[in-house]
Every structure is written in structure tokens, then in C-alpha cells.
């Protein structure tokens, strides 16, 4: 079963259909859930696996950002941009830091948001909302903003969208990419920024959940091998899903067609919840 959930995570994490929503719906409708702490732990481990896919896919960008930021902090002026300002890589780091700030605002509500994972009707409605956002994204024209021209306000707005997308059923990728496009981002940059800014968010969530699971005794060690299988599958499938997503976003209309899936999945899960829960 861990392998199946890993497959679901890998497919749905990057495609705009809400991985957390799908995992929760499957677990709720078919009684696959673990104990609460264990459920949260496995969910976060799967997210950690797909985060690994982000590192592999954007490794050159991440390496360049790290190198140029360290050089900037050390005061190496030779690494300034042509106009004497920050290099785009360094500027992108600042944008990601700003985009992460809204997550601290919702931190006090984390337990309440986690409890929504058990509410299938709510998740179904959130999937329908996701469909609306994805549909809009397919209609938006491509902007011109990139790491050199996006403003701190742009980063803050997209970061607020990421914070809102912690609600199960709202797709993080669908929400942040749509908001990025609405702020005038180039399509390729909207995808890149969406996933690069997910790195500190997912790492922070992982550390918090691991701490909670360890301190509460929520880790069932005999299930760890199954967790690892699920993580491997989620990571591998997630990488190829990310490749596909980038191509779909660049095409525009194809990305927007995921709206029909989200609407259908939301309606079907809502109906099933009335009979199976």
C-alpha cells in the first residue's frame, strides 16, 4: 500500500491536482490511514522524496544560487552583475526568502489545517477550486518577468499563494504557478520559482513533523521499509512528472485542461464520501 501511495504522490505532487488532497481522499475513503502522527509522518516523507526530484531537476540552478550567494555574502564584488547589482541567482535567493515569509503567518494554524485532511467533503470542494485556478492559468498570456525583473511584492504574493495552498485539496503547483503568471512571470520562470521556493517550505515542514513524530512516539519502526519503498517510487515518478509539467505549462492551454480532471475528481470524491465514509 505504501508503494501505491508513493505512486499517487509522485504523479500528483507536481501536476496541478493536489498531492495532499489525493492522498487524504484515498486514505479516508478506503480506510488506508495510519494513526494520526504516523499518517502525517508518511505524508511528509513522501513530500521529502519528491523534493529530491526537484533537487535533481534544478540541480544546476540550485548549485549556481548557492555558489553565487556564498560569494556575495563573503563580499566578492567580482561576482556582481553587469550593472553592479545582484546577480539573478542571488536575487532569486532573496525572492525565495521573501516568498517563504507568509508560511510563518499560518504556522499557528498548522494543527487546524492538518485536521482538514480528514474532511473529505472539504477536500473535494478545494479540488474544485483548484480546477478553477488551473483553468484560469491556461487563459493567461505569458509575461516577461524573470529572476532579474520580478519584484519583492511579486514574490510575497506568490508566497502567500503557497501558504494558502497548504490547505489539503488546493494544489501548490497549480496555485503558485497561476498566481505567478497573473503577476506577469514568464512561464518557465513561473514553474522554476514555484518549485525552488518549495524547498525551504517542505524542509521546514519535514523537520517539524519528524520532531513531533519522534517526541510523541508516532514512528512505527517496522513500517520504515514500506516508507522507503514509497519514497523511492514517489521520487522517481515525481521527476518524470516534473518534466511533463514544465512542457505542459509552456504550452499554456494543455496545462489548463487539468481543470477538468480536478472538477471531476472533486465531484466524484464528494459523492463517494457520502456512501463510503
pLDDT digits (tens, 9 = 90+) for 177-206: 999 999 999 999 999 999 999 999 888 877
Q: Which of 71, 101, 63 is nearest to 87 (CA)?
A: 71
Residue 160 lies in a domain: yes
Of 16-30, 79-93, 209-223, 258-272, which range is least confident? 209-223
- H helices of the chain, where? 2-14, 19-29, 36-57, 59-73, 88-100, 102-106, 110-115, 120-139, 152-164, 172-182, 187-196, 198-216, 224-251, 253-256, 258-276
- Give the mean model confidence (pLDDT) for residues 228-241: 92
The model's pTM: 0.86
Residue 8 lies in a domain: yes
Residue 94 lies in a domain: no
Residue 73 is given by DSSP the state H
- Give the mean model confidence (pLDDT) for residues 169-173: 93
pLDDT confidence of residue 271: 92
- Give the mean model confidence (pLDDT) for residues 149-176: 95
- Residue 155 · residue 95 · CB < 8 Å: yes
pLDDT confidence of residue 182: 95
pLDDT confidence of residue 43: 74
Q: Which residues contact 145 (CB under 8 A, 6 or more apart)?
A: 154, 183, 184, 185, 186, 189
Please provide the size of the chain in residues.
277
Residue 69 lies in a domain: no
When divided into structural domains, the chain yields a total of: 1
What phi, psi does 222 have (nearest 5°)?
-70, -15
Give how far Cα 36 sits from Cα of 9, 46, 165, 191, 221, Å: 18, 16, 21, 32, 15
- Residue 184 · residue 143 · CB < 8 Å: yes
Read off the pLDDT band of 220 (50, 70, 90): low
Residue 256 lies in a domain: yes
Q: Where in the sequence is the domain holding 106, given as residue range(s)?
A: 2-63+100-276
Residue 14 lies in a domain: yes
Residue 87 lies in a domain: no
Residue 241 lies in a domain: yes
Amino acid at each position: 500500500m505504501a508503494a501505491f501511495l508513493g505512486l499517487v504522490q509522485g504523479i500528483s505532487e507536481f501536476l496541478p491536482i493536489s498531492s495532499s488532497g489525493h492522498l487524504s481522499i484515498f486514505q479516508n475513503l478506503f480506510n488506508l490511514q495510519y494513526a494520526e502522527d504516523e499518517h502525517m509522518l508518511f505524508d511528509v516523507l513522501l513530500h521529502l522524496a519528491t523534493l529530491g526530484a526537484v533537487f535533481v531537476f534544478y540541480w544546476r540552478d540550485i548549485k549556481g544560487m548557492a555558489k553565487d550567494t556564498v560569494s556575495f555574502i563573503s563580499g566578492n564584488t567580482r561576482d556582481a552583475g553587469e550593472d553592479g547589482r545582484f546577480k539573478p541567482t542571488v536575487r532569486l535567493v532573496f525572492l525565495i526568502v521573501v516568498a517563504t515569509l507568509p508560511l510563518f503567518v499560518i504556522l499557528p494554524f498548522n494543527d487546524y489545517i492538518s485536521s482538514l485532511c480528514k474532511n473529505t467533503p472539504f477536500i473535494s470542494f478545494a479540488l474544485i477550486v483548484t480546477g478553477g485556478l488551473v483553468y484560469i492559468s491556461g487563459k493567461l498570456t505569458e509575461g516577461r518577468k524573470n529572476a532579474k525583473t520580478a519584484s519583492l511584492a511579486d514574490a510575497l504574493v506568490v508566497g502567500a499563494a503557497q501558504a494558502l495552498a497548504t490547505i489539503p485539496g488546493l494544489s501548490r503547483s497549480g496555485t503558485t504557478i497561476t498566481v505567478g503568471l497573473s503577476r506577469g512571470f514568464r512561464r518557465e520562470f513561473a514553474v522554476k520559482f514555484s518549485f525552488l521556493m518549495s524547498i525551504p517550505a517542505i524542509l521546514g515542514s519535514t523537520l517539524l513533523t519528524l520532531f513531533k513524530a519522534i517526541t510523541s512516539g508516532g514512528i512505527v519502526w517496522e513500517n520504515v521499509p514500506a516508507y522507503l519503498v514509497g519514497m523511492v517510487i514517489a521520487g522517481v515518478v515525481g521527476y518524470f512528472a516534473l518534466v511533463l509539467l514544465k512542457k505542459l505549462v509552456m504550452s499554456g492551454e494543455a496545462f489548463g485542461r487539468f481543470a477538468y480532471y480536478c472538477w471531476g475528481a472533486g465531484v466524484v470524491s464528494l459523492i463517494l464520501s457520502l456512501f463510503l465514509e
